[in-house]
Amino acid sequence: MLIRHKKASDVASHEITPKDVYVNRRRFMQASGLIAGSIALGALPSAAAVLPAKGQKFADVKKGYSKLGDTDSLSPPEAIYSYNNYYEFGSSKEDPAKNAGPFKPLPWTIKVDGLCNKPGTISFEDFIKPHALEERVYRMRCVEAWSMVIPWNGISLGEVIKRFEPQGSAKYVRFETVVRPEEMVGQRDRHNLPWPYIEGLRLDEAANPLAILAIGIYGDPLLNQNGAPIRLVTPWKYGFKGVKSIVRMSFVEEQPKNTWQVMNPGEYGFYSNVNPEVDHPRWSQASERRIGGSGGGLRGLIAPRQETLMFNGYAEEVAQLYAGMDLKKFY
């Protein structure tokens, strides 16, 4: 058996950069008042985002804004790649990894339409190219009360939106997942969700520097089960806002009806901000299980529960978006 040693160029920055470095960097930036500045600087395009050749890592990933607490450590790749929600491939956690093999994420096009000056149908490559690729390490909190810590590779959603020049009447951005029943076994099951899967954000939420469109994890292009080739990540909201395999982005005036709200308006809303004080009608949201963390095993079945944080720990960055709103009502 050959033992393949990694070349230095194969080693992603997260492997040589322990959590302490993130934490220290954060403290340094806090001390030097660089937090807000670093977000703005993160938008400066130093390099164009391009997919690597098959089997290769992304070549040029800048360290973007990441914030972890003292108890957070990166979830192992095996957990991130095998414990998923992606109903297009089935409704249990193992289904997406098991069933997403036949899905072809390339070639891919994204249609941008609605209330904007620069609509169009754009290839995936051209869609990502003008933007800098960043690593963003975020907590991910599913509404089902489990969580992970994921090192995403993505581009700023706010920067993407600017490019298409939304008009003054546009208040929301709406996203659609691809519909391909031939490749997606869950879309052939008529007792499943209505397709396409829809999500949306208010435009100012979408412009928040934390919001990204992810195209990779751990330096590799997204696997099919994680939403290849491109999906939304909004770390202060419950995971279902993170619509996968996006084929359409529309600027609209009315609040979009997102899939889970349509399915069950008594249990799921539009905003879906992580809030430990507002319980789901069928379970508490005060705490969560960390999947793949130490002691819990990959499924996290016996993981000790940990406290859920307001806005998933990102209140400092996003709370101002909801000033004046009753957070107990706008779930």
Ligand X SMILES: Nc1nc2c(c(=O)[nH]1)N[C@H]1C(S)=C(S)[C@@H](COP(=O)(O)O)O[C@H]1N2
Which of 291, 292, 289 has the alpha carbon at shortest distance from 304? 289
Residue list 224-283, contact with ligand X (CB under 6 A): 226-227, 239-240, 242-244
Q: Of ligand X, Mo ion, none, which one sits near residue 250, judging by CB under 5 to 8 A according to partner kind?
A: none
CA distance 51 to 41: 23
The single residue listed with the structure tokens 């992606």 is 86
The residue (of 86 and 311) whose beta carbon lies closer to ligand X is 86
The residue (of 219 and 242) whose beta carbon lies closer to Mo ion is 242
Which of 104, 127, 118 has the alpha carbon at shortest distance from 178? 104
The residue (of 17 and 91) whose beta carbon lies closer to ligand X is 91
CB of 240 to Mo ion, least distance (A): 5
Q: Of Mo ion, ligand X, none, which one sits near residue 296, judging by CB under 5 to 8 A according to partner kind?
A: none
Residue 25 CB neighbours (<10 A): 17
CB of 131 to Mo ion, least distance (A): 26
CB of 241 to Mo ion, least distance (A): 9
Residue 147 in the binding site for ligand X (CB under 6 A): no
CB of 226 to ligand X, least distance (A): 4
Residue 103 in the binding site for ligand X (CB under 6 A): no
Task: Give the strand pairing for 62-63 and 134-141.
Answer: parallel
CA distance 206 to 173: 8
Stretch that binds ligand X, among 48-56, 81-89, 128-136, 273-281 (CB under 6 A): 81-89
CB of 289 to Mo ion, least distance (A): 13
Instruction: Please check whether residue 131 is in contact with residue 154, taking contact to mean a CB–CB distance below 8 angstroms.
Output: no
**Which residues have a Cβ under 8 Å from the Cβ of 85 and sit 6 or more positions away?**
93, 96, 142, 144, 239, 240
DSSP 166: B
CB of 167 to ligand X, least distance (A): 27
Rounded to 5 degrees, φ, ψ at 301 are -65, -35
Secondary-structure breakdown of the chain: helix, strand, coil percentages, each rounded to the nearest 5: 25, 20, 50
CB of 239 to Mo ion, least distance (A): 4
The residue (of 89 and 251) whose beta carbon lies closer to ligand X is 89
The residue (of 52 and 276) whose beta carbon lies closer to Mo ion is 276
CB of 192 to Mo ion, least distance (A): 15
Residue 239 in the binding site for Mo ion (CB under 5 A): yes
Q: Of Mo ion, ligand X, none, which one sits near residue 251, judging by CB under 5 to 8 A according to partner kind?
A: none
Whose CB is nearest to ligand X?
239
Pick the binder of ligand X from 58, 138, 197, 331 (CB under 6 A).
197
Instruction: Please check whether residue 204 is in contact with residue 274, taking contact to mean a CB–CB distance below 8 angstroms.
Output: no
DSSP per position, 192-261: S--SS-EEEEEHHHHTSTT-EEEEEETTEEPPGGGTTT-EEE-TTB-GGGS--SEEEEEEESSPP--HHH
The residue (of 66 and 187) whose beta carbon lies closer to ligand X is 187
Please give the residue ranges that form the binding site for Mo ion (CB under 5 A): 85, 142, 239-240
Please give the residue ranges that form the binding site for ligand X (CB under 6 A): 84-88, 142, 177, 197, 226-227, 239-240, 242-244
